[in-house]
A = this chain, B = another copy of it.
Amino acid sequence: MEEEKEINYSERVKEFFKDNRVELYDKLKIIHRNGQVIKGVLLPRPDIGDPDVLILKLDNGYNIGIHLDNIVSVKVLGHLEAAPLVKIRKTYKVRKKSLVYFLGTGGTIASRIDYKTGAVYPFFTAEEIYSMFPELEDIAFIKAESLFSIFSEDMKPSYWSIIAEKVADIFKKEEPKGVVIAHGTDTMGFTAAAMAFALRRLPGPVILVGAQRSSDRPSTDAAFNVIAATITALDAPFGESVVVMHGSTSDSYCYVHRGVKVRKCHTSRRDAFRSINDIPLARIDYPNSFILLNERYLARSKEGIILENKFDPKVFLLKFYPGMPGEYLDLLIDKGVHGIVLEGTGLGHVSENLLKPLKRAYDEKIPVVMTSQCIWGRINMNVYRRGRELLKVGVISGEDMVPETALVKLSWLLGKNLDYKEIREAIHANIVNEINPRSEHRSYPSL
């Protein structure tokens, strides 16, 4: 364990602490100059940042900074004792339950922070998982191993390949009912899409699961997410790559989202993940009822997994904006990009000045796939003249795929060493339900 950090706030702040009898780890009630009342636990100053800014941990697990000059008054409400670490039991009952295999890649869900020291404790043995989520003992026989321990923003195509290969290996050797992958939420949607393409004819679901709030906070969503993921592994009729996360802001239900149709749509809410242009595959009502919502799924297969886990990393996602110079597209081509996913406007448009470099991409047989920055809806380049001009310079419709899924699909197709014509056809083809033939409006935001 690391040593407790000393007070390294500014001298002004230290004086303020002294005057108000404030100590580190005190629970404080602060009146902000803007009238807000803020309650939280005073933390040591991080290594980075203004020494006049107090760092408070709020009850929801987030830290905020308050500048000394903005504090009208402070009251000490109590003091935080060291959070008791969960006791790891060395034995657990191995019931005659079905096997669910847990694979760790990192992220909030697979770590525990001691706020007194700032130390992060990754956990990922079966014993630790049972100890953190004791309900699992009655549900499944768990085996677990940690593959990576990275922030999900550092995930990349070569890691997708490693995870997919590992999952295929686990299904072959261990024959679990499903594989649960603990993953940071930031890029979980991309990885879920990658697993969908890389692993087909799955004997059971591959379930990405994460947490928006860390496992040792009272407000954590980790426990129910992990339990719902395990239930999905056991009860789902499908063998697809999915994301299991909270469906609402309370612990009332989780959704099972199709990996190729899901997106993180909120920076902090527990129900950050949303199915886009599709309905979720299933819902898990607290604590353990599995309810199938979507009849269109790929069933568990007994024919043996197809592993095609190569991804071409030289695919670029380019979001269009008004005034974007065509020059940047030329730069990408000069640099030897193998494929481009455009995030255009509306039904699939970009400005006129991009037509020339897009024509160049076409001539050099670099596939360009059009998606929409609207997020919801479907590309249709037949409606307006600009769309038809884009079709003419070879831009391929991404149909109703979100840009993130189109990126993963194009990277995967290029990894298969297909030629330009085959890639064109495969983009339009529905391989793993990444294209929904019907327009599905039910997840669209209201108000």
Given A346-B186, A407-B321, A380 and B445 contact (CB-CB distance below 8 Å): no
B446 touches A443 (CB 8 A): yes
Q: Which residues of B contact A157 (CB under 8 A)?
A: 322-323
**Contact check: which of B156, B386, B437, B446 meets A323 at CB < 8 Å?**
B156
Q: How many copies does the complex hold?
A: 2
Q: Are A388 and B46 in contact (CB under 8 A)?
A: yes
Does A62 sit within 8 A of B, measured CB to CB?
A: yes
Residue in contact with A382 in the complex, picked from B47, B63, B391, CB distance below 8 Å:
B63
Inter-chain CA distance A316–B321, complex, in Å, is 8
The answer to whether residues A153 and B445 also contact, given A48-B392, A376-B267, A377-B267 and a CB cut-off of 8 A, is: no
Q: Are B345 and A187 in contact (CB under 8 A)?
A: yes
User: Quick one: which of B267, B327, B382, B445 contacts A374, CB cutoff 8 A?
Assistant: B267
Tally of chain A residues near chain B (CB < 8 A): 89
Max count, chain B CB within 10 A of own CB: residue among A46, A321, A335, A392: A321
Q: Majority SS of interface residues in chain A?
A: loop
Query: Closest 8 CB pairs between A and B?
Result: A267-B377, A186-B345, A445-B445, A156-B323, A186-B346, A153-B349, A319-B319, A266-B376
Whole-angstrom distance between the alpha carbons of A236 and B181 in the complex?
52
- Choose, from A88-96, A166-174, A271-279, the stretch at the interface: A271-279
Contacting residue for A153 out of B49, B190, B191, B386, CB 8 A: B386
On whether the beta carbons of B335 and A327 are closer than 8 Å, the reply is yes
Point out the residues of chain B lying under 8 angstroms from A19, CB to CB.
none
Nearest CB in chain B: distance from A100 CB, A: 26
> What residue of chain B has the Cβ atom nearest to residue A108's Cβ?
B384
* Interchain CB contact (< 8 A) of A346 among B153, B191, B335, B441: B153
